[in-house]
Amino acid sequence: MRDAVRTARPADRAAIEEIVQAAYEPWVRTIGVRPSPLDADYGVLISRGLVFVSGVGELTGVIVLVPEPDVLVIENVAVRPDRQGEGIGRALLEFAESQARGSGRTAVRLYTHAAMASNVALYERLGYVVTHRQPLDVGHLVHMRKDIDEK
């Protein structure tokens, strides 16, 4: 059974920051810069109702969702490294799609660093398509989108 996803509470902040740190820190050497989720202000994001978590007792995953007029932006999705491969990330992405659908949005979008090739491949397997690439000082971001159907 998959863990339910719920809105993060202020008391979750430390666990959220630990998950994000553990999930993104290994990528620093690969991409040559700190991924932006490592420097996000989770206190502010939580207070704005943009952070959602999975896990019962111990949190297992985090997703940050930012609404735009027609799409829901997935700012960050992270899973505890020792729980990766269990479908938690996919469940969080499905949650994002459900949230988008429920708010009348027609798509979800996200971006990731091109050097995070395994993430790009995962998103493509899940139906995301590359919309454009954004040059950075170190590499580039891959912007992706998934149109969602009403259910």
Q: Which helix (H) or strand (E) holds 122?
A: helix 117-125
Number of domains in the chain: 1
Q: How far apart are CA 131 and CA 109, in angstroms?
A: 9
Q: How far apart are CA 112 and CA 110, in angstroms?
A: 7
Output the pLDDT for position 104: 94
Q: How far apart are CA 75 and CA 9, in angstroms?
A: 18
Check whether 14 has a pLDDT greater than 90.
Answer: yes
Give the residue numbers spanning the domain of 15: 5-147
Contacts of 45 (CB under 8 A, 6+ apart): 51, 64
Q: How far apart are CA 93 and CA 105, in angstroms?
A: 15
Check whether 150 has a pLDDT greater than 70.
Answer: no
Output the pLDDT for position 33: 87
CATH of the domain at 107: 3.40.630.30
Half-sphere exposure for 59 (CA within 13 Å, toward CB): 25
Question: Could you tell me the pTM of the whole model?
Answer: 0.94
